[in-house]
Amino acid sequence: MNKTSNPAELAEISKRVRRHILEMITAAKSGHPGGSLSATEVVVTLFFDIMKHDPANPKWKDRDRFILGKGHACPVLYSTMAEAGYTPVDQLTTFRRLGSIYQGHPDVRFIPALEASTGSLGEGLSVGLGMALAAKLDGSPSRTFVVLGDGEIQEGQVWEAAMFGAFHKIDNIVCIVDYNKIQLDGFVKDIMPLDPLVDKWTSFGWHVIDIDGHDINAVQKAFHDAEAVKGKPVVILANTVKGKGVSFMENNPKWHGSAPSREECELALKELA
């Protein structure tokens, strides 16, 4: 794969990933476009700039690990991994079909290069912390990156994991909260408000970095700053827009888990041309 730190190139890859997301969900007539589109810059920047990994050697011992806690947003992960060379781009539109490697949630039985099967919300950070702690015990330089949804962090297990990470000073993990402010049933503020989110993570002993999750320069800087933090885990609060890049999907709870029609997909693709 061709890695790059050029923001313009990362933005172009992000645009391709967004197009894949829309096409695969439309073909399946099922899926979660909103939270896949909101996490695109974060996931693309990780795979194409920040993480140490090798599609030709996916089980390299000292690779960095990526965990998608909000597994229902797997279209962004599948599209990025395909663009990176892990899996076939031309099979993305088999998403959610029986026998496809691109199942409705990440499943290591279908894609062995995945680090974990995810989608049971609340478990991703625990899995990632276990991997990060194991790397420290092994003396490996491996780092772990975990993307969580904002609705997901209403789960109590996330905060148990947060306590564990701080207590054990697991400083080779970065948790990224895709803070798009919308979950399955509506706006987060109307269901289980998270604010003051910076203060909450800080009080749990984490170093907090608060950014615009669509600003690639800011995303890159956040990951570089996180690497310099020692003695405590890092959480990046990536403020994002649900459905980012498609005008009629942005900030609309309908698109948490609704597939666009073919006509809606064509309109969206024109916006991403």
pLDDT tens digit string along 215-250? Answer: 999 999 999 999 999 999 999 999 999 999 999 999
For the cut 90, the answer to whether the pLDDT of residue 1 exceeds it is: no
Query: What's the Cα-to-Cα distance from 147 to each of 64, 162, 268, 273, rounded to whole Å?
Result: 14, 14, 25, 27
pLDDT (average), residues 148-174: 98
For the cut 90, the answer to whether the pLDDT of residue 266 exceeds it is: yes
Residue 37 inside a domain? The answer is yes
Predicted local distance difference test score (pLDDT) of residue 25: 98
Predicted local distance difference test score (pLDDT) of residue 157: 98
Predicted local distance difference test score (pLDDT) of residue 164: 98
- Omega before 58 cis (within 30°)? no
How many C-alpha atoms does 107 have within 13 Å on its Cβ side? 11
CA dihedral over 121, 91, 100, 145, signed as positive or negative: negative
Residue 1 inside a domain? The answer is no
Confidence of residue 13 (pLDDT cuts 50, 70, 90): very high
Domain range spanning residue 164? 7-271
The tens digit of pLDDT for each residue in 66-92 reads: 999 999 999 999 999 999 999 999 999
Confidence of residue 208 (pLDDT cuts 50, 70, 90): very high
The tens digit of pLDDT for each residue in 185-201 reads: 999 999 999 999 999 99
Burial code of 34-58, b = ≥16 C-beta within 10 A, e = fewer?
bbbbbbbbbbbbbbbbbbebeeeeb
The domain that contains 119 carries what CATH number? 3.40.50.970
For the cut 90, the answer to whether the pLDDT of residue 271 exceeds it is: yes
End-to-end CA distance of the chain: 23
- Whether the Cβ atoms of residue 17 and residue 82 lie closer than 8 Å to each other: no
The tens digit of pLDDT for each residue in 114-124 reads: 999 999 999 99
- Whether the Cβ atoms of residue 23 and residue 33 lie closer than 8 Å to each other: no
Residue 103 inside a domain? The answer is yes
Q: State pTM to two decimals.
A: 0.98
Query: What's the Cα-to-Cα distance from 267 to each of 89, 142, 236, 252, 270, rounded to whole Å?
Result: 22, 42, 32, 16, 5
Phi (first) and psi of residue 180, to 5 degrees? -95, 0
Our count of domains for the chain comes to 1
Q: What is the mean pLDDT of the chain?
A: 98
Residue 2 inside a domain? The answer is no
Residue reference for tokens 């781009």: 89
pLDDT (average), residues 155-179: 98
What is the widest separation between alpha-carbon atoms in the chain?
53
Residue 197 inside a domain? The answer is yes
Confidence of residue 14 (pLDDT cuts 50, 70, 90): very high
Residue 171 inside a domain? The answer is yes
Residue 200 inside a domain? The answer is yes
